[in-house]
Chains A and B, each alone.
Chain A
Amino acid sequence: MARMKFLCDADRCIECNACVTACKNEHDVPWGINRRRVVTINDGLPGERSVTMACMHCTDAPCAAVCPVDCFYTTEDAVVLHSKDLCIGCGYCFYACPFGAPQYPRTTNFGSRGKMDKCTFCSGGPEPDSSAIEYAKYGSNRLAEGKLPLCAEMCSTKSLLAGDGEVIAAIYRERVTQRGYGSGAWGWRTAYGETVEV
């Protein structure tokens, strides 16, 4: 089984937001929920970099650890998923997540956030694969169809890579070697405890 990871090559990201749009469209994500987003650092300054970020599907995920109802689980592909039936919308996972991945349908006060929603690495939830109920709750299940996440597939500059950690790290390493520079795999150390050494 593969160990699924995301890798954003920040030297390629042009902040076109195609990944964000692809994700929203593929999973019919409601307004206000951003499973994926693009953050631009040092905007307008030399050395500006844009990074697309979603759930990184961490090794030993902090969200799963702090969940008071243990609604998270990790699939065979090392994708971190959760059950919306068990989630109580307490918000702890957002506090624990280093990447701001968990999203809530309501931002109203007094603890009524609704069920948490986040990137599923295009692999649905605990319901049967590709069922209507799974689509309604978690969006489409591309992994079950043998496809990789749509955000990476739609990436206009192939900055965002999604797939087996070993494979995408090798692609990134090759790129860095060929062009002679690379600002690193953003978030990898925090998410996986290791980075891509070139």
Chain B
Amino acid sequence: MAGPGAARTRRTETGEKMRLLTLAGPVRTALAVVILSFGLIAAPGPAGSQSGSNPTAEAVQERQLLEELGRVQGRITIPDQRAMVLQQPQGRDYRAIHEAALPWLGAILIIGMLAVLAGFYFYRGRIRTLEPETGVTIERFNWAERFTHWVTATAFVILAITGLNYVFGKRLLMPLIGPDAFSAWSQFAKYTHTAMAWLFMAGVVVMFALWIKDNIPDRYDLPWLKAGGGMFDRTNRTHPPAARFNAGQKMVFWAVVLGGIVLSASGILLLLPFRFTDVNGMQLAQIVHSLVGMIMIAIILAHIYIGTLGMVGAFDAMGSGQVSLTWAKEHHKVWVDKQQAKTETGRRQVPPRRTATSAR
């Protein structure tokens, strides 16, 4: 009796045959492998559920992506490839550092340094030479050294002011002059900052070449540091010997060179946005740039103090280039001895005529 059961069997057979016709065995197997391997790549974790009713079982999950990769990114059809990052919650961290930590750190560094310098001034006063001045001078920095110093110094001061404006401007200056004037000033400050950067970078390179030979640590440095450079001796009798630069000056030199390198590298990343790094790299560059900038400002404040108000006679070194021999002997004994061994007075002299003749 051919009942409905037989009909069902026949239909099943036909279906089976049709499937075999459309997909030959090996092809089907290959396809299954491909699909399976894709599935493995896409969903390594909770995959395996073959439910067709819930498309989100295999779907990418925002929280999972954020936990695993820290951000969500995909493919984009516009040329701006930065836009492929759909979500980077690190922006919140950047904001926290930029708005909470950075202004406080900067304020502590700068106001702290000013307080230390003021304290030092009240403790020690202006440092004077022990022996009376004789009026005899010795050349400490030639014109090329002074020129480089002042170009770099000018650039640094402008960079420091315009740089601090990014962090403290809206907190201190904007309430005084209003948003429109402050915006105009900040726009000017921004362009000045990016322009002066090149002068500063060039200055650091030249200073490095000029003074590296005098800034290699030597045997006078440790005793100098142990004696605190004689800075804390109110009787002014401690004068540890030093070559052309003492350990303190060497520290300033290396701070400028190393700090300058970090500032230049991070600054170039900021000047050429997204050329070398992605958004998280830009965040890091910006934070490092601000932080190192503030540390440098604090160090340079100390440098400015000791070069002007803090020590009588020190400014002449970078002013006229000629320092008093008394001052030089007290602070840079080893250097003075060496210079005087070269020439009698320590001044640069016209080469003896004899040499010029023999050269011809």
Contacts and interface: CB of A to CB of B under 8 A. Distances in A.
B61 interface: yes
Interface stretch (B80-88, B117-125, B222-230, B311-319): B80-88
B78 interface: yes
Contacts, number: 177
A46 B74 CA distance: 14
Interface stretch (A90-98, A132-140, A146-154, A165-173): A90-98
B43 A34 contact: no
Contacts of B41: 45
A109 interface: yes
B233 interface: no
Contacts of B86: 39, 41, 51, 53, 99-100, 186-187
Interface string A91-130: 1101111111000000101111100000000000000000
Contacts of A89: 190
B56 A183 contact: yes
Contacts of B279: 94-95, 100
A46 B165 contact: no
Contact of A48 (B60, B165, B183, B275): B60
Contacts of B273: 91, 107, 109, 113
Contacts of B58: 46-47
Contact of B54 (A46, A87, A90, A180): A180
Nearest to A61: B95
B161 to A, nearest CB: 14
B99 A11 contact: no
A40 B75 contact: yes
A197 to B, nearest CB: 13
Interface in B45-104: 53-63, 65, 72-78, 80, 82-92, 94-95, 98-99
Contacts of A94: 279, 282
Contacts of B187: 88
B39 interface: yes
Contacts of A96: 91-92, 94-95, 98
B274 to A, nearest CB: 8
Contacts of A38: 76-77
B34 to A, nearest CB: 12
B180 interface: yes
Q: For the side of the interface on B, what is the size category?
A: 35 or more
Contacts of A42: 42, 60, 74
A68 B92 contact: no
Interface stretch (B5-13, B166-174, B302-310): B166-174
A98 B74 contact: no
Contacts of A90: 166, 190
B61 A68 contact: no
B75 A99 contact: no
Contact of B166 (A46, A68, A184): A68
Nearest to B275: A109
A71 interface: yes
B186 A68 contact: yes
B248 interface: no
A85 B283 CA distance: 25
Interface-central residue, A17, A53, A70, A98, by most chain B CB under 10 Å: A98
A51 to B, nearest CB: 6
Contacts of B89: 98, 190
Interface string A19-35: 00000000000001010
Interface in B333-358: none
A167 to B, nearest CB: 22
Interface in B178-219: 179-180, 182-183, 186-187, 190-191, 193-194
A43 B41 CA distance: 12
A100 B89 CA distance: 10
20 contacts: A10-B59, A11-B59, A34-B83, A40-B74, A40-B76, A42-B60, A62-B94, A66-B95, A68-B169, A71-B183, A85-B183, A95-B94, A95-B282, A95-B286, A99-B87, A180-B53, A180-B54, A181-B54, A181-B56, A183-B61
Interface of B: 38-39, 41-43, 53-63, 65, 72-78, 80, 82-92, 94-95, 98-99, 165-167, 169-170, 174, 179-180, 182-183, 186-187, 190-191, 193-194, 270-273, 275, 279, 282-283, 286
